[in-house]
């Protein structure tokens, strides 16, 4: 075999070295901790672990040029290095540049003896927040509501409802406590992760505590905000949220494999997930092995009622492009949703830590969209899954990643890294060295 062939041992060795360099330099700062069990925001980095055994790609890419084939070979090396270093069970990746799908591949196993495949379904968590925001902005565009409307006309029973606006709900500045950080909710979730938490239950957990700050004066990641926003949108649209999202967002974006459920159902084929996050809640000794299937834990708690969704890697890519180009919105609403308007805003306070912090270039919030440098993304993590869909407008690059975890990925207290975010940042750095995704700030 010619040494210049992408499959030659010499070329594989060089790819491996490049992948290790990217892994060491692309993302070196710990990710921000937002929330607790099953959070849909950034999570802290876990330690490196002994290598796992990544599988081979499960399908070939479309016919590519020689340079594109070389890129795919390099990207394969990046994913394989990430799997070995981060102790990942499965990684599914899709990369699109312009109109060309450069790579759609799956690595590793869904379950023991069952290879991961690119058509497998998984939870998309906070990606639904971008759909909910898009729905809201469609109502803004048609004149039904304004972002500055106060929410007392729909939810007068909530604290400060005559001050809190639709914009504050969507950009996480209400001061409403996150029900997920309430100790009572955390205990209930860990006791029975199959329980379906109703809107009323979550509201009660959220407002067991006073507001974290006066509305509009700080920033704090709170699932409560989007839960309330979804409740309001169902009133505005006169239909359940899942129906509205399907008709006005998912179908127009061409997301044929994305659907909302009020249960733990996932359509076949399923990417299975496993977790150690309940270790502390179950009072297990750190030396006791603990690793349980979490695939069918009920995800309804983390999103608005009607917003708990399953998806595929290709629908994640379509989402990245549709959100990143403002496909369904006016130009004004697109910029409201995606511009970096909060950099420098917010501060960490005892009343709201760890969910509140100053917005920076590496992580700042639009309206249901995370900005990281020039990239627009969502990076959910919950119940043993992590995922990313991200878009770079200048180069028309869309990257989607979904990961599951092997036992060594979990820290002794059950925490785990959002490894999909790590893989995305390595791929983004490789494909767009002039505008790489910046490292996230260290945990404060």
Q: What is the pLDDT of residues 178-225, one digit of tens each?
A: 999 999 999 999 999 999 999 999 999 999 999 999 999 999 999 999
Is residue 341's pLDDT more than 60? Answer: yes
Buried/exposed code over 201-210 (b: 16+ C-beta within 10 A; e: otherwise): ebbebbbeee
Whole-model pTM over 0.85? yes
Cα–chain center distance at 9: 36
Once rounded to an integer, what is the mean pLDDT over residues 436-443? 81
- The answer to whether residue 283 is domain-embedded is yes
Does a structural domain hold residue 432? no
Number of domains in the chain: 1
Using 50, 70 and 90 to split pLDDT, how confident is the model at 440?
A: confident
In a domain, 301, yes or no: yes
Instruction: Output 204 or 33, whichever has higher pLDDT.
Output: 204
Task: Provide the pLDDT confidence category of residue 33 given band limits of 50, 70 and 90.
Answer: very low
Percent of the chain at pLDDT exceeding 70: 85
Q: What average pLDDT does this structure show over 353-378?
A: 96
Summarised one tens digit per residue, pLDDT across range 270-290 is: 999 999 999 999 999 888 999
Structure confidence by residue, pLDDT tens digits, 110-148: 999 999 999 999 999 999 999 999 999 999 999 999 999
pLDDT confidence bin for 262, thresholds 50/70/90:
confident
Q: Is the pLDDT of residue 318 over 50?
A: yes
16 found inside a domain: no
β-bridge mates for residue 382, sequence order: 385
Q: Identify whether 326 is part of a domain.
A: yes
What values do phi and psi take at 224, rounded to 5? Answer: -55, -40
Q: Among 40-54, 338-352, 359-373, name the one with the lowest average pLDDT.
A: 40-54
At residue 133, what are phi and psi to the nearest 5 degrees? -65, -40
Chain-centroid distance, C-alpha 162: 31
Q: Would 407 be classed as within a structural domain?
A: no
Q: Is residue 324 part of a domain?
A: yes
Residue-averaged pLDDT of the chain: 89
Structure tokens at 324: 């990143």
- Phi and psi at 121, nearest 5°, equal -95, 150
Per-residue HEC secondary structure of 378-390 comes to: ECCEECCEEEEEE
CATH number of the domain at 193, please: 3.40.710.10
* Within-domain flag for 5: no
Residue 18: is its pLDDT beyond 80? Answer: no
| Rg of the chain, C-alpha, whole Å | 21
Q: Rounded CA gap, 264 and 292, in Å?
A: 16
Q: Tell me which residue range forms the domain holding 204.
A: 122-262+277-371
């Amino acid at each position: 075999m010619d040494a210049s062939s992408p499959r030659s041992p010499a070329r594989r060795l060089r790819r491996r070295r490049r992948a290790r360099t990217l892994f060491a330099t692309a993302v070196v700062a710990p990710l921000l901790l937002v929330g607790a069990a099953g959070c849909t925001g950034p999570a802290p980095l876990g330690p490196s672990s002994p290598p796992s055994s990544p599988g081979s790609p499960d399908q070939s890419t479309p016919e590519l040029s020689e340079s594109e084939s070389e890129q795919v070979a390099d990207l394969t090396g990046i994913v394989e290095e990430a799997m070995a270093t981060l102790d990942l069970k499965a990684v599914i990746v899709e990369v699109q540049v312009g109109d060309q799908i450069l790579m759609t591949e799956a690595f590793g196993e869904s379950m023991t003896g069952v290879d991961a495949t690119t058509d497998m379904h998984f939870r998309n968590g906070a990606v639904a927040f971008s759909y909910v925001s898009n729905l809201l902005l469609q109502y803004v565009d048609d004149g039904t509501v304004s972002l500055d409307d106060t929410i007392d006309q729909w939810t007068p029973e909530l604290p400060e409802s005559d001050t809190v606006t639709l914009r504050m709900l969507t950009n996480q500045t209400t001061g409403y406590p996150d029900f997920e950080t309430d100790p009572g909710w955390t205990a209930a979730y860990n006791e029975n992760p199959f329980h379906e938490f109703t809107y009323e239950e979550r509201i009660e957990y959220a407002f067991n505590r006073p507001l974290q700050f006066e509305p509009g004066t700080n920033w704090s990641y709170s699932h409560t905000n989007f839960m309330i926003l979804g409740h309001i949108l169902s009133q505005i649209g006169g239909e359940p949220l899942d129906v509205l999202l399907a008709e006005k967002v998912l179908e127009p974006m061409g997301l044929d494999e994305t659907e909302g459920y009020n249960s733990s159902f996932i359509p076949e084929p399923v990417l299975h997930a496993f977790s150690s996050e309940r270790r502390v809640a179950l009072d297990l000794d750190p030396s006791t092995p603990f690793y349980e299937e979490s695939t069918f834990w009920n995800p309804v708690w983390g999103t608005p009622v009607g917003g708990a969704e399953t998806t595929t890697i290709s629908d994640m890519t379509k989402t990245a492009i549709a959100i990143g180009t403002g496909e369904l919105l006016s130009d004004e609403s697109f910029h409201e949703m995606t511009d970096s308007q909060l950099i420098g805003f917010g501060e960490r306070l005892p009343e709201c830590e760890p969910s509140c912090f100053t917005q920076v270039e590496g992580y700042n919030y639009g309206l249901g969209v995370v900005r990281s440098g020039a990239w627009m993304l969502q990076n959910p993590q919950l119940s043993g899954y992590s995922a990313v869909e991200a878009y770079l407008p200048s180069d028309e690059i869309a990257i989607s990643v979904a990961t599951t975890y092997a036992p060594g990925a979990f820290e002794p207290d059950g925490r785990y890294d959002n490894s999909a975010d790590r893989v995305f940042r390595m791929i983004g750095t490789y494909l767009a060295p002039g505008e790489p995704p910046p490292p996230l700030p260290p945990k404060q």
